[in-house]
Amino acid sequence: MILSSLAEVAALVADARAATSADRRLLVGIAGPPGAGKSTIAAALVGRLPAAALLPMDGFHLPQSELRRLGRRERMGAPDTFDIDGFVSTLTDVRNSCRSVVIPGFDRGTEEPVPEAATILQESSTVVVEGNYLLLWERALSLLDVTFFVEVEHGIRVERLVRRHIRFGKSPEQARGWALGPDEWNANAVAATAEVADHLIRL
């Protein structure tokens, strides 16, 4: 199903929540390429839903020191530059327990993960998970109850990325080079997973 409004997305999630046992959290996955608007949509969705919390995948970036040690710094954002084991472990904990769960965040200024940046509270019955590779990593996908893939026109997405990179310290030339280089390579990998999603979002 192709959805064209946040209200439609919220209604589908509300229906899924109603069909889920009251003693278990509902995990909602929002995937898509860099610059598609996943974070904005996920945050807005959490604001529309009762007892909802946000779990961004960005908090599971490997630290800069580890990326340099592995020789992956220039590919930051690629699938193998994330702590997938930590991400899946946290998802499992969120899904299978009803207690509060502490999660990491991400500082775009330093491009470093921030440990214990937020908490998914015990009363959070719906958790919206957003990130590039939710549909690529089978171990993560298997823990999600309903999934969405965000699509946006290529030129719009690239310009968003350029503006974001400039805002966080890159020169215009560096920003465009990264948006059309590593970001574009990652976007191509993510695009191949669109067919896995339960629903498409085109706002």
Residue 186 in this model has a pLDDT that exceeds 90 = yes
Considering the domain boundaries, does residue 176 fall inside one? Answer: no
What's 156's DSSP letter?
Answer: H
Considering the domain boundaries, does residue 171 fall inside one? Answer: no
Rounded to whole angstroms, how far apart are CA atoms 132 and 129? 10
188 pLDDT band, cuts 50/70/90, is very high
Considering the domain boundaries, does residue 115 fall inside one? Answer: yes
CB 124: neighbour CB atoms within 10 A? 23
Rounded to whole angstroms, how far apart are CA atoms 20 and 8? 19
Residue 176 in this model has a pLDDT that exceeds 90 = yes
Structure tokens at 97: 């327990």
Rounded to whole angstroms, how far apart are CA atoms 78 and 187? 9
Q: What is the pLDDT of residues 48-107, one digit of tens each?
A: 999 999 999 999 999 999 999 999 999 999 999 999 999 999 999 999 988 999 999 999
Cα Rg of the chain (Å, integer) = 16
Considering the domain boundaries, does residue 174 fall inside one? Answer: no
Region of 183 on the Ramachandran plot (φ > 0 left; ψ -120 to 50 alpha; else beta): alpha
Average pLDDT over residues 21-39: 96
Average pLDDT over residues 159-187: 96
Considering the domain boundaries, does residue 182 fall inside one? Answer: no
SS3 for 199?
strand
Q: How many domains does the chain have?
A: 1
Average pLDDT over residues 170-180: 96
pTM of the model: 0.96
Considering the domain boundaries, does residue 186 fall inside one? Answer: no
Rounded to whole angstroms, how far apart are CA atoms 127 and 122? 11
What is the extent of the structural domain holding 11? 2-153+194-201
Considering the domain boundaries, does residue 130 fall inside one? Answer: yes
CB 145 within 8 A of CB 27: yes
Considering the domain boundaries, does residue 181 fall inside one? Answer: no
**What are phi and psi for residue 44, nearest 5 degrees?**
-65, -35
Region of 126 on the Ramachandran plot (φ > 0 left; ψ -120 to 50 alpha; else beta): beta
Q: What is the pLDDT of residues 96-150, one digit of tens each?
A: 988 999 999 999 999 999 999 999 999 999 999 999 999 999 999 999 999 999 9
Q: What is the CATH number of the domain that holds 135?
A: 3.40.50.300
- For residue 1, what pLDDT is reported? 87
Average pLDDT over residues 25-53: 97
17 pLDDT band, cuts 50/70/90, is very high
Shortest CA distance to 81 belongs to which of 177, 185, 199? 185
